[in-house]
């Protein structure tokens, strides 16, 4: 069994509202002003093994991008630690490693429009001593070629590229920092479907050749299934199920995972069998006022009293899969009791 490369231990992130002067005056005169904190991420503990790609899936607003930014060292958590090979990614709220790099959803927004992309790609490696100024041009040309771009594109500006090419530049910039861990936050969401396939193929090729470990964040279950070794499902700031890609897509245990899979109109598995589950109902609750107990209980067809009262722990189901669900835990306990009785 491999030792964890990335470890997230008890990560929580809360955003406290900043009341403006106007809000404070309005509150003084009796107006209702929203001042509750947003609990974006709550007590997330996860590991990623060396060379593994973990897909992180959930609906918009579930906290997956916030968690990605914490892993990347861009955002400090309110509680908990992120370590790579035992070394913290953050110290006193500041990123202290170059071993983790990020590829964002919108490459246009993440590239400086006034800088030639050669300078953009070279900036980080020069600043961190990975290459000298004298050798930077060749270094950049090598990385551009590695991601399928012409080396001469180094002299161009971001607006001179297509969306797919810009994402290749963003990948080259991240890889030029020689990271061990790549956080990809919806890296193909803003691209046309045909271009998405090209970028995903590039990603798979680079992962195979460079052995990079990856946290791949997406709301697209099809993309995540294609690129991930394991998948973590997130709902309202908490991880509710973690398992191998095969386990999650063939036999989801958590009711929310089942509902998510059901939301894909035609999810065709390798044997061409269509999976049919019950449709999800209701709206995702506000993170300003999450329901007590299991936050999925207002939408869950299996909810029992304990679900409305107690937060379910993320527990192993007898394999290496983790599920946070009272009913599934009860089913496991009942099955274990029956097995014991039959063994007597």
Query: What residues are paired with 6 via a beta bridge?
Result: 48, 84
Neighbours of 206 (CB within 10 A): 17
Query: Least CB distance from residue 254 to ligand SF4, whole Å?
Result: 6
- Identity of the residue, 254 or 321, whose beta carbon is nearer to ligand SF4 in the bound complex: 254
Q: Are 8 and 43 in contact (CB under 8 A)?
A: no
Residue 89 binding ligand SF4, by CB under 6 A: no
Residue 327 binding ligand SF4, by CB under 6 A: yes
Please enumerate, as own/partner, the contacts of 136-141 that have beta carbons within 8 Å and a separation of 24 or more: 139/176, 140/172, 140/176
Q: Could you give the CA distance from residue 291 to residue 286 in angstroms, rounded to a whole number? A: 9
Q: Which residue has the tokens 């014991």?
A: 340
Pick the binder of ligand SF4 from 249, 255, 314, 321 (CB under 6 A): 255
Residue 248 binding ligand SF4, by CB under 6 A: no
Q: Could you give the CA distance from residue 98 to residue 56 in angstroms, rounded to a whole number? A: 22
> Given the rule CB under 6 A, which of 77-85, 139-147, 186-194, 300-308 is the region that contacts ligand SF4?
300-308
Pick the binder of ligand SF4 from 117, 312, 321, 322 (CB under 6 A): 312
Pick the binder of ligand SF4 from 307, 314, 321, 322 (CB under 6 A): 307
Query: What residues are paired with 182 via a beta bridge?
Result: 101, 214
> Given the rule CB under 6 A, which of 38-46, 71-79, 167-175, 296-304 is the region that contacts ligand SF4?
296-304
Pick the binder of ligand SF4 from 231, 260, 300, 322 (CB under 6 A): 300
Query: Least CB distance from residue 151 to ligand SF4, whole Å?
Result: 52
Q: Are 70 and 41 in contact (CB under 8 A)?
A: yes
Neighbours of 200 (CB within 10 A): 18
Query: Least CB distance from residue 258 to ligand SF4, whole Å?
Result: 10
Residues that bind ligand SF4 (CB under 6 A): 254-255, 294, 296-297, 300, 302-303, 307, 312, 325-327
């Amino acid at each position: 069994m491999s030792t964890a490369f990335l470890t997230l231990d008890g990560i929580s992130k809360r955003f406290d509202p900043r009341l403006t002067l106007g809000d404070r005056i309005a509150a003084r005169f009796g107006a209702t002003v929203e001042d509750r904190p947003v609990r974006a991420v709550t007590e997330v503990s996860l590991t990623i093994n060396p060379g593994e790609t973990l897909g992180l899936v959930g609906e918009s607003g579930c906290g997956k991008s916030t968690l990605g930014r914490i892993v990347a060292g861009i955002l400090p958590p309110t509680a908990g630690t992120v370590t790579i090979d035992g070394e913290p990614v953050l110290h006193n709220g500041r990123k202290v490693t170059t071993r983790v790099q990020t590829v964002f959803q919108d490459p246009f927004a993440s590239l400086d429009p006034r800088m030639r992309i050669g300078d953009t790609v070279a900036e980080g490696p020069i600043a961190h001593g990975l290459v000298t100024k004298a050798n930077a041009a060749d270094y950049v040309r090598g990385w551009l070629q590695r991601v399928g771009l012409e080396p001469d594109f180094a002299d161009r500006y971001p607006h001179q590229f297509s969306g797919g090419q810009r994402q290749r530049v963003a990948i080259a910039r991240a890889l030029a920092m020689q990271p061990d861990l790549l956080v990809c936050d919806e890296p193909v969401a803003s691209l046309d479907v045909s271009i998405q396939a090209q970028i995903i193929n590039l990603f798979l090729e680079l992962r195979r050749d460079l052995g990079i470990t990856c946290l791949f964040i997406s709301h697209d279950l099809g993309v995540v299934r294609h690129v991930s070794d394991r998948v973590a499902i997130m709902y309202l700031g908490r991880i509710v199920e973690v398992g191998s890609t095969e386990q999650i897509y063939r036999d989801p245990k958590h009711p929310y995972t089942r509902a998510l899979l059901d939301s894909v109109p035609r999810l065709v598995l390798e044997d061409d069998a269509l999976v049919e589950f019950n449709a999800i109902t209701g709206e995702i609750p506000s993170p300003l006022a999450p329901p007590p107990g299991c936050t999925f209980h207002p939408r869950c067809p299996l909810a029992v009293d304990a679900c409305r009262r107690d937060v379910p722990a993320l527990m192993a189901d007898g394999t290496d899969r983790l599920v946070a669900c009272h009913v599934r835990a009860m089913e496991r306990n009942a099955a274990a009791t029956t097995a014991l009785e039959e063994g007597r």
